[in-house]
Structure 1
Amino acid sequence: MKVGMIGAGSIAQIMHLPYLAEIPDIEIEALADPGANTTETLGDRYNVPNRYQDSETLIEEEQNHLDGVVIATPMQTHADLAISALEAGLHTFVEKPIAVTPEDAERVVEVADAADVDCMVGYMKRYDPGFQRFAELVEDIDQIDLATSVVIPPDVGSVLEDTYDLVQADLDDAFIEESMAARQRQCEAAIGTDDNTLTRAYGYHLESICHDVNALRGVFGSVTGIDHVDVFSDWKYLTAQLRYEGDLRCMLESGATDRMWYDERIQVDAPDRSVSIGFSNAFIKNTPADVRVKQGTEETEETIHTPSADEAFKRELEYFKECVEGNATPRTTPTDAQRDVELIADLFREFQGHELVGDPRM
C-alpha cells in the first residue's frame, strides 16, 4: 500500500510518519509540506522518494501511483485537500476536524459519498482500547442520570518542546499571514460574526473538543438539543448542556490553560455506579487511558481498567489500511464529522442567538 503524507507538522512528525513507516506493507511514497527544509529532512529520514512543497501538486502528480493519502495540515485546508484527494480516486484519511465551516464539511461529505474510495476522519480516540472498554461498560448501564465531558489541555507547545526534537518549517511571513487569514475568514463564516474574541474561541474549541464530541456521539448517539451555552473568561472557556437521545443530559466543559497537566475525561453517573475514562496527553506516545468504575450504595468498590498501552494513532492508521484493502469500512465517517462541526458551530450560534445550521436530530 503506497501512501502520500500531506502535512508534516507536529502531529505528523510525532505520530503519523513514524507509525506509517512501522506498519508492515505500507510505503510512504510521497511527502508534501510548505517548508522545504521539512520535506528534505523528513524525506531523508523516512526514505520518501517524492517530495513537494505544494499539497495539490502531490495529489495531481502522484494520484496514479498512490493508494491513499494521510492529510495532517492546518484545519482550514482539510476540506479542499480531502475533496481533491477523493476526486483523484485516492483513499483519504483526513485529520479532525473535517472542516472549519459546516458548509465545507457538507462539501466533503457530498464528494465522499460519490467517490469510489473510502474517506476516514482522524478521530483517534475512537480507536483507543481504553475508550472501547469505556463504551462497553456504559452500554451495560440500564439508567444514566448524567454524563460529563471535560476538556482542558495544557500548554501543548511547551509539552512538545520538552518531549520531542521536531523539525520546524521555515515559512515566510506572507505565507503564514495568508494561512491565518483563511482560518479567520472560515471561523467568521461558521458562526456568523466578525467578533475577534468569539472567532478565536470558536477556532480553539473546535480543534479541542471535536474529538470529545465525536466520542460522545460514539457512546450516546445523536444530540437532540442544546439547552444552554456560555462562553466566558475572554475566549478561553465554554460550557454547554447537551441533550441526547433518551433525554440524557451531558455537561460539556472546554477550556484553555497554561498549566502543565492534561485534563480530558468523560464520566457517566448512574444510580449505583459511575463509569469514567481519563485520557492521557494525546501528544505523548503509548500513555494509556484509565477507565474507572466506582459502584455501591452501601459499600463502595472501585475498579481501574487499563486495557492496553497500544497507541491509538497507530491503531487508526492500521484500520485505515484495512479499509483501503477492502477488509473494513470507516468507523469515523465524514458524515459524523460533518455533524460534529455543525454542533460546535451551533454552540456559538446559540450563544449569540443566531439561527442554528445543524439538525440536532442527526
Structure 2
Amino acid sequence: MLYGGVHMKKVPNSATAHAAVVRKTRGRKPHSKTVNGLVITAISLMSVLSLVFIGTGFYILHLFDIIGSDSADDVSYVDSLPDEVDSGYEAIDDYKEIEEGAASVAEIPVRGNTKNIKNYMLIGVDSRRKNFVGLADSNIILTLDSKNKQIKLTSLLRDTLVTIPGRDRNNDGKDDYAKFNASYAYGGFDLLSKTVEQNFRLKIDQYITVNFTAFTETIDKLGGVDIYLTAAEAKWIKVGTTAKVYHLNGGKALAYARIRKLDSDFGRTDRQRKMLTAMFKKAKGMSVGTLNSILNAFLPKVDTNISANELTGFVFNSSTYFSYTMDKTFHLPPNGEYRSAPEFGLGSVLYLKDPAHAVTELHKFIYNG
C-alpha cells in the first residue's frame, strides 16, 4: 500500500496494529498524561538561543561540559536502527523555488540545510529519567533564516500517522504505521530523524532533547512571561476571567502550556509556540548574569549533538540573532488537511488527506521566507 507515494504496510487488524506500537515501560513509573513533554520545548529553545546571548566563548565551553553530548550511555530504546539508505540529498546554496504538484511524497526531493537556512529539531520527551528515553510528545523544527532575519517554528503533531523506517514487526516486508511520537521511543533521534526524512522529506541532523523537569524553574528564573490569554484560557488556569495580557509565573505558564481539553492538540501546540516567542522576547532584555543562572539550571537536563564549536559560533553571532523576528509559525498537519483513521487500530491519529500537498506546504514555509 502507498501512503503519499512511499511504500507502506498493509493496514493490519486492530489488535495487530495496536500491538505494533506497544512499547516496554522498562520500569518507568506511570504518571499523569496531562504532564506532557510539549511544554519543555521552551527549555530546548532557550538552550539554543540563550547561548547566543552569552558574551564569551570561554564560558560556552564551560557550559558544554555540563550538557549531555550525544551519549549512548545508559540508553535503551525499543528497537535497533534501520540500515543507512542513500536518500539522494545534496546540500545546495538555497532552494529558490519549491515545486508544487507532486503526485506523492516520494516525488518530493529531500531538503536540508542551505546557505541561509539552518534547521534544528527540538524534542521534548515524556520522561522523568535522565537518559531521555520516552515518547517524543514535543517536536518543533527551529529554523534560522539568515536571509530574511527570521526564526521560524514548525510543530510536527505527535499523533500524525507515519511509517517508521525499518520497523517491521509482522515481517511482511513493509514499514509499520505508528504515531509520530513513537519514533523517538523506538530508536532515539537517529530513528526520529529517519522518520522525518521518509515521511516529510526533510534532512535534519542536529537536535536538542530535554525532559520536562525544569520548565517551571526556568520560567521563574526568567521572572515570568507575558502572554495574551483568551477569556477561556484565563479561566482554565485560574488567573482571570477576561481576555488580555497576563503575567504568568512558572506554575501558571506550565498550566497554560498543558491546556488540551479546552480545544485540541492543535491549540496546545499553538500555545507552545506562543510560549517560545514570549521566552525569546523576555530573554532579549536579560543580563548575562541572569542568563548564566538560567543556563546552569537546565543545561544538565539537555542532550544534544551540536558541537562546542557551533555553540561558540552562536555566541559570536549574538548581535545578529538579537535582531531576528520570531513571529512565523506552522504546524503539520495543516488545518483541514487531515482526518481520523480508526481503521489503523492506533487510537486517535491524524491521517494526512494529501500527504504530498501537506509536505510541499511545509517546505514552502521553511525555505520560501
Instruction: Give the TM-score, by structure 1 length.
Output: 0.24
Which fold has the larger relative contact order, with Cα–Cα distance below 8 Å and residues 6 or more apart in sequence? Answer: 2
The structure in which a higher percent of residues are strand is 1
TM-score after normalising by structure 2:
0.24
